[in-house]
Amino acid sequence: MEMPITLAQVEEARRNIAPLALRTPLVPANFEAPAEVYLKLENLQPIGSFKIRGAANVMARTPSERLARGVLTASAGNMAQGVAFCARRLGVPATVVSPDTAPATKMSAVRRMGGRVIQAPFAEWWRTFETRAYPGVEATFIHAFDDLDVMAGNGTIALELLEDLPSLDAVVVPWGGGGLSCGIAAVLRQLAPKVRVYAAEVATAAPLAASLAAGRPSTVEYQPSFVDGIGSKTVFANLFERARGLLAGSLVVTLEEAAAAMQLAAERNRIIVEGAAACAIAAALSGRAGAGKVVAIVSGGNIDLAKFAHLTGASDGAPPPASPN
């Protein structure tokens, strides 16, 4: 299949994002698993998430006269912070449309970075992804996942993986809209085509798995949970086609498995991970990504600490609840 992004675009993105994004470490997971699991620590980025890569690349490639009018994005939290962070560095206004279920911690971070937040019902928020605009806001729209410059920024992660672990066998990536997994997979397909790339989803909102099973974009019931960085009712048709050609499949984990992975990462690797990242870790730990060297993309660590303590049992010494949300 034709690659959505070229290696030249990804190398350019690497140069573009260097002033803002970190080259994050890849570390062995300090726990037993059917595979040799490694963790790519994007939770250590300045905004606590990989989203800074795509946001920085888009804004670097946007003409200054357009940037001066401001930027707009739709996000449940992490892309919002990426856009707000980069906009503050560039001295331009940023507006974020978020669902009314978005975590207060993430929205507070956006405001702290100088961004304006507009909260909307889930359906209205999702429509912003489709229209790439919001009534009354005149600004350059930065799509959180359906944008080739965002995808190229995300693809820089794959370059770092191959430099740090040339013999990797598989990568497990949280699936939100598809920009992260498809960006990483597009680079690996060109440089290391034998590497398997899997999406990770949560059972309460797994439209990619349903779509792959049906052979077409499908709609699923969406249930909000502590896994707020990924999960939706459906997939974009063009991202579905890319995923179908680039990914080895979607690995769906339960809320209980995600909470357990969150606790394990804290206990053994001393890292805080949010729900989306925990899904990738849980999927890698399950063995369903295969044997060999398997990398879980720890996409972010932006979670309310009280909620994190509750989910991991740190608040009262008890195990995580059966159905955390």
How many CA atoms lie within 13 Å of 323's alpha carbon, on the beta-carbon side? 4
3-state class (DSSP) for residue 146: coil
**Active-site residue, from 49, 75, 225, 299:** 299
Residue type at position 245: G
3-state class (DSSP) for residue 43: helix
Known catalytic residue: 299? Answer: yes
Helix (H) or strand (E) holding 117: strand 116-120
**Active-site residue, from 40, 51, 106, 293:** 51
- Please give the Cα distance from 78 to 228 (Å, whole number): 10
Cβ atoms of 9 and 61 closer than 8 Å: no
Residues in the chain: 325
How many CA atoms lie within 13 Å of 236's alpha carbon, on the beta-carbon side? 20
Helix (H) or strand (E) holding 296: strand 293-298
Q: 2-39 burial by CB neighbour count: b if 16+ within 10 A, else e?
A: ebbbebebbebbbebbeebbeebebeebeeebebbbbb
Report CA-CA distances (Å) from 15 to 57, 116, 152. Answer: 9, 29, 11
Residues involved in catalysis: 51, 299
